[in-house]
Amino acid sequence: MNDDAQSIQNSVKDYLLKTFLPGEDPDSLTPDTPLISGGILDSISTVKLVTFLEEQYKVEFQAHEISSDTLETLTDIAKTIQLKSAARA
Amino acid sequence: MTRLHQFLERSAQAYPEKTAVVDAERGVSATYSELQKQAEAIQEQLAAAGVVAGDRVGICMPKSIGSFAGLFGALRAGAAYVPVDSTAPAVRNALIFNDCAVRAILVAGNLAESLCAELGDGRYRSAGELAFLAPHGVPAVLLVAEPRTEQRFDGVDTSNLAYILYTSGSTGKPKGVMHTHASALAFIDWCSELFAPNADDCFSSHASFHFDLSILDIYVCIKHGGKLVLLGESLGKQPAKLAEVILSERITIWYSTPSILRLLAEYGQDAQHDRVALRVVFFAGEVFPVKHLRAVMAMWPKPRYLNLYGPTETNVCTYYEVPVTFPESRTEPFPIGKDCSGDVCMVADERGQEVPHGEEGELFVKGGSVMRGYWNLPQRNAEAFFIDKQGGHWYKTGDVVKVNADGDYEYLGRRDRMVKRRGYRVELGEIEAALYTHESVSEAAVVATPDVENGVVIRAFLNWSGDKSPSLIAMKQFCSKKLPLYMIPDKFIPVVALPKTSTEKVDYQKLLEME
C-alpha cells in the first residue's frame, strides 16, 4: 500500500464521507476541515475512526493521542499515521 | 453540619500518605495530604484575590488533579464552584460565568485569552499563574473580576451554596441549578447507606465535573478515604484503554452513562475481564437499551448493577438494582425503581393531585437532595415547583412515569422538548435558538427520535434561504461555534416551509413523521 500523505488523506476522506457524511459534497471536506472541534466527529465516531486507522495502517494509538492534536484534520491524521508508521519501521 | 470540603480534611488526617487521586491520562497522582495542601493553596490565592463566602468561582479546566483541587479550594473559600465544559465554545462559557457573576475563574492557561475576550473588555484581570498545579499536568491561570463591585441578585440566597451546574435551557440560554452543601450531603449520605463504600474502594471519575454524575464519584470517594481515578476527555474516548485502566487501577466502583459502558462492551473486549475488581456498576443519565446492558453484564458478571435516576435538580431520587438474571427474551428497559431514602416521589396530574396507582403522570420529587432553585430565574423557579397544602415543595421533573406491579417507577417519556444525549440534557429549543442566528436560516425546528445505535438522533429542519443546500459539514461547524459538541444535530434538512398547526405553531408531530 502506498502510505504517502496524499493517499492516506484520500482513503481517510473516503471512509469519513461514506461512514459519517453520507450524501455530502466531497468538496466540502477539505484537508483543513476541523473534524473534532467542528462537531463532525463525536466520541463514538472518533472511536470508530481510530479503530479504522489502527486496522488499515497497522498502528496503535495511546490514550493521550486521541485528541484534536492528532486527529483534528485530514492533514493531521495523515501526519500522525506517517509518524507512527515511521516509528514502527 | 458537615460541609463538603471537610470530607477531604478528615480523610487527609486519617490517611495522609494514601493515594487520593490518580490522573490516568497524564500518569500522575496525589496523596490525601498533597491534595489537601493544593486545596489550601488555592483557597489562599482565592482569598487574596478577594473571594469571600457567598461568592462564585468558575472552573474552566480539563479534568486534572489541579481542577479537582480547585473544587475543594473554592469550597474552602466559602464559595460555590461553577464548573464548565472546557471544550465548549468560549462564548457559551462566558455567558455562564457572566450570568452568575463569578468573582474569580480558574482557567487552563491555553484557554485564558479566548475566555477573557468573550467575558467582555477588562471585566476580568489575570491574578497570575497557579504555578503549584503545573507538576500535576495542567498549567492554570486565576482570573479575577475587576473592578470589585457588589452584585445584587434579588431572590438569590447564596449562603451555603456548594456548586451551580448549568444545564441546557429551552430559550437558548443555559440555566444554573443551585445545590447547597445540605442537598449534596443528603445524596452523598444516601450513597454511603446504599453500597457501604470504604477506604479500599477505587472509584472511577468518568463524568466531567460540570455533569451531576461527578458528585457521587468525587465526594463519596473522598468521604470514605477511597482512591479516585480521573478519566479525562481523551481517555474517555478509547474504550480499550479504559478497560485496561479499570483492570490496572483495580477500580471497584464504576459510574457512567450507559453509552460508554456500551462502548466498553463493544471495543474493550481484549482486557482480562474475569480479573476486574469491580463490585458496583452504576449507570444513569439515559435509558440503557437491554441488549447493550446484557452485553456489559456478560463481560463483567460479578458486580451489582444499579440504575440511578434523577435530574440535575434532584441529584438522584430513585434507584433500581438490575436482577442478576433475567429472561433472554426481555427487550423493554428496566424501571427506574423506588424512592431514595431521603426523598419522596409521587406521580401527579397537571393539578398536582396524585394519580391512582398504576396510572401515568408526572414524577414530582421533594426531599433533602432537591436543589435550592435556578440561579436568578424567579419565574422559572415558580414554575418548577409545586407547593402542596402543607407547604411541601415538590420539584416537577417533567418526566412521565407510572408505577408497575412491583411498585417501581417506569419511565415513559418527557412532557416537554428536552432529550438526553450521552447523558447530557439537551433542550431542543436551545439548538433552534442557535440555528436562528445563521444568516440563511429563516425558520428552524429541531426534533429528536430514539435510535437503537446512537440512543437518539437529532434532526434540524431549516427554512433555508441560501443559494445551495446546506452542507452538513458547514452546518456542524457553524453549530460548534455556538453549542457544546453533544448538542450538534446529526442531520440538517432544508424545507420550503415548516409544517404548522391550526394555531400557526410548528407542527412537531408532523416533523417527527417526516423522513
Sequence letter at residue B316: V
Q: Which of chain B's residues have a Cβ under 8 Å away from the Cβ of A28? A: 471-474
pLDDT tens-digit readout, B102-138: 999 999 999 999 999 999 878 899 998 887 777 777 8
- Global confidence as pTM: 0.86
Separation of CA A2 from chain center: 16
CA A27 – CA B481 distance, rounded (Å)? 22
With contact defined as beta carbons under 8 Å apart, do B102 and B57 qualify?
yes
CB contact under 8 A, B241 and A62: yes
Residue of A nearest to B23 (CA): A64
Partner A contacted by B15 (CB < 8 A): no
CB contact under 8 A, A47 and B422: no
Q: Residues of A near B (CB-CB distance < 8 A)?
A: 21, 23-25, 28-29, 33-34, 37-40, 42-44, 46-47, 50-51, 61-67
CB contact under 8 A, B477 and A42: no
CA B345 – CA B46 distance, rounded (Å)? 40
The DSSP H or E segment spanning B21 is: strand B19-23
The pLDDT of residue B273: 67
pLDDT tens-digit readout, B437-466: 999 998 899 999 988 777 789 999 999 988
Q: Which three cell numbers stand for residue B98?
A: 457572566
Task: Give the Å distances, CA to CA, from B174 to B9, B121, B142.
Answer: 33, 22, 24
pLDDT tens-digit readout, B229-262: 999 988 887 888 899 999 999 999 999 999 889 8
B378 preceded by a cis bond (ω within 30 of 0): no
pLDDT tens-digit readout, B291-303: 889 999 999 999 9
Q: At B170, give phi and psi (nearest 5°).
A: -70, -25
With contact defined as beta carbons under 8 Å apart, do B76 and B40 qualify?
yes
Q: Which three cell numbers stand for residue B326?
A: 433475567
CA B418 – CA B317 distance, rounded (Å)? 19
Rounded mean pLDDT, B57-85 = 96
CATH T-level fold of B424-513: GMP Synthetase; Chain A, domain 3 (3.30.300)
Residue A51 pLDDT exceeds 50:
yes
- Candidates A39, A47, A50; nearest CB to B488: A39
Q: Which three cell numbers stand for residue A57?
A: 495502517
CB contact under 8 A, A38 and B259: no
Task: Give the Å distances, CA to CA, from B170 to A73, B212, B366, B384, B446.
Answer: 33, 19, 23, 13, 12
The pLDDT of residue A23: 84
pLDDT tens-digit readout, B134-178: 777 788 999 999 875 556 666 677 789 999 999 988 778 899 999
Burial category of B343 from C-beta neighbours within 10 Å (exposed 0-12, middle 13-18, buried 19 and up): buried
CB contact under 8 A, A39 and B476: yes
CA B89 – CA A34 distance, rounded (Å)? 14
> How does residue B336 score in pLDDT terms, banded at 50, 70 and 90?
very high
CA B460 – CA B133 distance, rounded (Å)? 43
The enclosing domain of A27 has a CATH number of 1.10.1200.10
Judged by average pLDDT, the poorest of A34-43, B17-26, B402-411, B485-494 is A34-43
Residue in the block written with cell 440511578: B308
CA A86 – CA A4 distance, rounded (Å)? 11
| ipTM of predicted assembly, 2 dp | 0.83
CB contact under 8 A, A39 and B241: no
CB contact under 8 A, B237 and A47: yes
CB contact under 8 A, B486 and A47: no
Judged by average pLDDT, the poorest of B11-20, B31-40, B243-252, B452-461 is B452-461
* 3-class secondary structure, B163: strand
The pLDDT of residue A1: 44
Q: Which of chain A's residues have a Cβ under 8 Å away from the Cβ of B239? A: 47
CB contact under 8 A, B480 and A65: no
Cα torsion A39, A40, A42, A46 to 10°: value is -140
Starting at the edge strand found earlier in the chain, the sheet holding B28-31 runs B28-31, B19-23, B227-230, B202-205, B253-256, B280-283, B304-309, B318-321, B338-339
CA B334 – CA B287 distance, rounded (Å)? 8
CA B222 – CA B240 distance, rounded (Å)? 27
Q: Which of chain B's residues have a Cβ under 8 Å away from the Cβ of A44? A: 259, 263, 454
Taking one residue from A and the other from B, the number of pairs with CB-CB distance under 8 angstroms is 69
For chain A, what percentages of helix, strand and coil (3-state, to nearest 5) are there? 65, 0, 35
Q: What is the DSSP letter of B207?
A: S
Partner A contacted by B422 (CB < 8 A): yes
Q: Which of B315, B313, B317, B309 is nearest to B372 (CA)?
A: B313
The pLDDT of residue B138: 83
Q: Which three cell numbers stand for residue B327?
A: 429472561
Partner A contacted by B488 (CB < 8 A): yes
Residue in the block written with cell 468573582: B103
Q: Which three cell numbers stand for residue B4?
A: 463538603
CA B233 – CA B443 distance, rounded (Å)? 35
With contact defined as beta carbons under 8 Å apart, do B456 and B488 qualify?
no
Residue B155 makes CB contacts below 8 A (sequence gap 6+) with B376, B378
pLDDT tens-digit readout, B74-108: 999 999 999 999 999 999 999 999 999 999 999 99
Give the other-Cβ count within 10 Å of B201's Cβ.
Answer: 22
Residue B67 pLDDT exceeds 70:
yes
CB contact under 8 A, B25 and A63: yes
Number of domains in chain A: 1
Partner A contacted by B479 (CB < 8 A): yes
* 3-class secondary structure, B188: helix
CA B370 – CA B180 distance, rounded (Å)? 9
With contact defined as beta carbons under 8 Å apart, do B145 and B101 qualify?
yes
Rounded mean pLDDT, B409-425 = 88
The pLDDT of residue B415: 85
User: Strand ranges (DSSP E) for B222-339?
Assistant: 227-230, 253-256, 280-283, 304-309, 318-321, 338-339
Q: Which three cell numbers stand for residue B434?
A: 442557535
Q: Where are the alpha helices (H) located in B170-324, listed in sequence order? A: 181-195, 214-215, 221-223, 239-248, 258-267, 290-299
Q: Which of B234, B22, B208 is nearest to A62 (CA)?
A: B234
- Give how far B396 is from chain A: nearest CA, Å: 32
Average pLDDT taken over every residue of chain B: 92
- Candidates A24, A34, A66; nearest CB to B237: A66
Q: Which of B503, B509, B487 is nearest to B170 (CA)?
A: B487
With contact defined as beta carbons under 8 Å apart, do B22 and B249 qualify?
yes
Q: Which positions 227-266 of B are in contact with A (Cβ < 8 Å)?
A: 233-239, 241, 259, 263
CB contact under 8 A, B471 and A38: no
CB contact under 8 A, A61 and B238: yes
Residue B134 makes CB contacts below 8 A (sequence gap 6+) with none
The pLDDT of residue B289: 84
CA B22 – CA B33 distance, rounded (Å)? 14
Q: Which of chain A's residues have a Cβ under 8 Å away from the Cβ of B235? A: 63-64, 66
